């Protein structure tokens, strides 16, 4: 009996120590789940009598995504943060392989794919782990180390929130926070005999917080060398990215600018020509609240590339940096839900150069008005007009992307559950005729409803 009590006491001590140790670690869960249904009438933007068999007809589908983020707080100032996405896909796509005539591509996707949204990727069939990093604070500052959120600075304008491995460092000095980071985009250490055959980005900046808001400036240097030795060129671009956000009474304003310069292509051998790079962009946004009503507008300028200057790349700065995928100014034009969710392009096949989710080569103007009849409801209408800064070719018919009217209504069923209904109509501009006036285009409209749970 004595041995029994000794063993029992020992087990109790082990359990007690284990409980004490585990009590020091707390776990916090967060995330979101959304599902939306969408109908797009004319994604090819072509007139019906000009469509070929390869042109997209009207599209209707449902799309969903579950996102889970977990923070393990190990000690005060020390955490491990992870995040994964699950079942990010269209309903009914890739759920089973049938033997009665369905395409093999409709079956399970068993390929291991990148989570960075680069060429060759697609939405995953099940679980895609995206982030895992250590967040710790020391006497000399705060560090984030691992796969984490990048392309997130200032306003939403040039944000994409992409996952990359890297190191971030923050040090507060009064109202100013100094930031520095290194991003490892591509690593090709197996390429021989090239050295440093990789793609790195280096960041340094500062954020100043004041009573009415905050402002900051970021310098970024991108060093692209993963093309060597096969292509024998490298790309080295510097980016200066200032922003400011302020609120004065009922008026909120924000602005962001971007200027890029350097070498778009610099050859390691004489046969590869050197192409310089220079880009410029500006974003302005203002909103004024008047009780339950509000009014505002936004403006975007992103310089386009002049096709006559073959030794210089002036445009496509946002696409080159993968910057701005989180910025959705409209329901149709430059909306990631259409490009990223359905993977469909809103461009007439064979007519015009593509416009993508990254807003480039653009003069964009938008005005909007809204009304909140209750604290849980929000109804907003916007009218947008966009043109190209530069025609992709000198013989292009026109430079007008189009005019878009959007109507969006949102209602919070619960504090964490929101339902949205939206409709948009695009008067297609002559840019999409490409290089021939005989190319016939037509307008496009879309309907969407979306249920979003945040927790």
What is the rounded average pLDDT of the residues 377-400? 94
**Range picked from 46-60, 119-133, 160-174, 434-448 for highest mean pLDDT:** 160-174
> Do strands 444-454 and 26-40 pair parallel, antiparallel, or not at all (unpaired)?
antiparallel
- Decide: 88 and 65 in contact? Cβ < 8 Å: yes
E-only strand ranges, 1-77: 26-40, 59-75
Question: Above 80 in pLDDT, residue 403?
Answer: yes
Dist. CA 339–CA 325, nearest whole Å: 10
Element (H, E) at 156: none
pLDDT value at position 187?
83
Question: Above 60 in pLDDT, residue 102?
Answer: no
pLDDT value at position 191?
57
pLDDT value at position 154?
96
Among the listed residues 69, 87, 71, the one whose alpha carbon sits nearest the alpha carbon of residue 127: 87
- Decide: 386 and 363 in contact? Cβ < 8 Å: yes
What is the rounded average pLDDT of the residues 277-292? 96
What is the rounded average pLDDT of the residues 221-233? 79
What is the rounded average pLDDT of the residues 367-390? 97
What is the rounded average pLDDT of the residues 187-204? 77
For 136-150, 345-359, 371-385, 427-441, which range has the lowest pLDDT when averaged over its residues? 345-359
Question: Above 70 in pLDDT, residue 198?
Answer: yes
Q: How is residue 303 annotated by DSSP?
A: P
Question: Above 70 in pLDDT, residue 121?
Answer: no
Three-class DSSP category at 115: coil
Dist. CA 420–CA 418, nearest whole Å: 7
> Do strands 59-75 and 26-40 pair parallel, antiparallel, or not at all (unpaired)?
antiparallel
Dist. CA 126–CA 85, nearest whole Å: 8
Neighbours of 149 (CB within 10 A): 19
- Decide: 322 and 261 in contact? Cβ < 8 Å: no
Question: Above 60 in pLDDT, residue 321?
Answer: yes
Question: Above 90 in pLDDT, residue 219?
Answer: yes
- Decide: 119 and 101 in contact? Cβ < 8 Å: no
Dist. CA 407–CA 246, nearest whole Å: 27
Tell whether omega for the bond before 229 is within 30 degrees of 0, i.e. cis: yes
Q: What is the pLDDT of residues 324-368, one digit of tens each?
A: 999 999 999 998 876 544 434 455 556 777 777 889 999 999 999
If you average pLDDT over every residue of the chain, what do you get?
85
- Collect all residues with Cβ–Cβ distance below 8 Å to 190 and sequence separation of at least 6: none
Share of the chain above pLDDT 90, in %: 60
Question: Above 80 in pLDDT, residue 59?
Answer: yes
Radius of gyration of the chain (CA): 25
**Range picked from 111-120, 151-160, 306-315, 341-350 for highest mean pLDDT:** 151-160
Q: What is the pLDDT of residues 414-436, one digit of tens each?
A: 999 999 999 999 999 999 998 98
Dist. CA 357–CA 335, nearest whole Å: 6
pLDDT value at position 15?
39
Tell whether omega for the bond before 193 is within 30 degrees of 0, i.e. cis: yes
pLDDT-derived band at 48, boundaries 50, 70, 90 = confident
pLDDT value at position 77?
95
DSSP string, 307-366: TT-TTEE-S-HHHHHT--TT---SSSTT-HIIIIIT----S-TTTS----SS--SEEEEE
pLDDT value at position 54?
61
Neighbours of 416 (CB within 10 A): 11
Question: Above 80 in pLDDT, residue 223?
Answer: yes
Dist. CA 115–CA 124, nearest whole Å: 9
Q: What is the pLDDT of residues 1-36, one digit of tens each?
A: 444 434 333 434 333 434 344 457 899 999 999 999
């Amino acid at each position: 009996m004595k041995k029994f009590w000794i063993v029992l006491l020992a087990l109790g001590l082990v359990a007690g120590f284990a409980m004490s140790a585990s009590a020091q670690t707390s776990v916090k869960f967060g995330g979101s789940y959304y599902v939306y249904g969408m109908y797009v009438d004319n994604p090819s933007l072509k007139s019906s009598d000009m469509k070929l068999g390869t042109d997209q007809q009207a599209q209707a589908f449902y799309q969903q995504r579950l996102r889970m983020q977990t923070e393990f707080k190990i000690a005060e100032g020390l955490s491990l943060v992870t995040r994964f996405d699950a079942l990010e896909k269209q309903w009914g796509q890739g759920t089973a392989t049938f033997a009665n005539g369905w395409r093999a591509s409709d079956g399970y996707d068993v390929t291991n794919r990148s989570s960075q949204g680069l060429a060759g990727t697609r939405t995953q069939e099940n679980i895609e782990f995206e982030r895992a990093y250590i967040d710790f604070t020391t006497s000399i500052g705060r560090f984030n180390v691992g796969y984490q959120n990048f392309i997130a600075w200032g306003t939403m304008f040039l944000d994409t929130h992409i996952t990359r491995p890297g190191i971030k460092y923050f040090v507060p000095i009064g109202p100013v926070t100094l930031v520095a980071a290194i991003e490892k985009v591509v690593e090709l250490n197996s390429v021989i005999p090239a050295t440093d055959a990789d793609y790195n980005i280096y960041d340094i900046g500062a954020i100043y917080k004041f009573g009415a808001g905050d402002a900051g400036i970021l310098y970024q240097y991108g060093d692209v060398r993963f093309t060597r030795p096969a292509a024998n060129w490298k790309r080295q671009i510097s980016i200066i990215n200032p922003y400011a956000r302020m609120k004065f009474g009922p008026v909120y304003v924000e602005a962001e600018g971007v200027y890029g310069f350097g070498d778009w292509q610099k050859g390691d051998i004489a046969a590869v020509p050197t192409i310089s790079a220079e880009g410029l962009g500006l974003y302005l946004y203002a909103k004024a609240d008047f009780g339950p009503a509000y009014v505002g507008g936004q403006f975007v300028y992103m310089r386009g590339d002049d096709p006559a200057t073959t030794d210089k790349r002036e445009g496509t700065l946002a696409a080159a940096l993968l910057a701005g995928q989180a910025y959705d100014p409209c329901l149709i034009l430059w909306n990631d839900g259409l490009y990223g969710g359905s993977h469909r392009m809103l461009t007439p096949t064979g007519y015009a150069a593509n416009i993508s989710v990254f807003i480039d080569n653009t003069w964009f103007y938008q005005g909007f008005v809204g009304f909140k009849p209750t604290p849980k409801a929000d109804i907003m209408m916007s009218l947008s007009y966009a043109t190209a800064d530069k025609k992709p070719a000198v013989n292009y018919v026109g430079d007008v992307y189009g005019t878009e009217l959007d109507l969006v209504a949102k209602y919070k069923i619960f504090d964490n559950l929101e339902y949205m209904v939206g409709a948009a109509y695009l008067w297609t501009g002559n840019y999409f005729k490409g290089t021939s006036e005989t190319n016939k285009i037509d307008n496009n409209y879309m309907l969407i409803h979306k249920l979003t749970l945040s927790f």
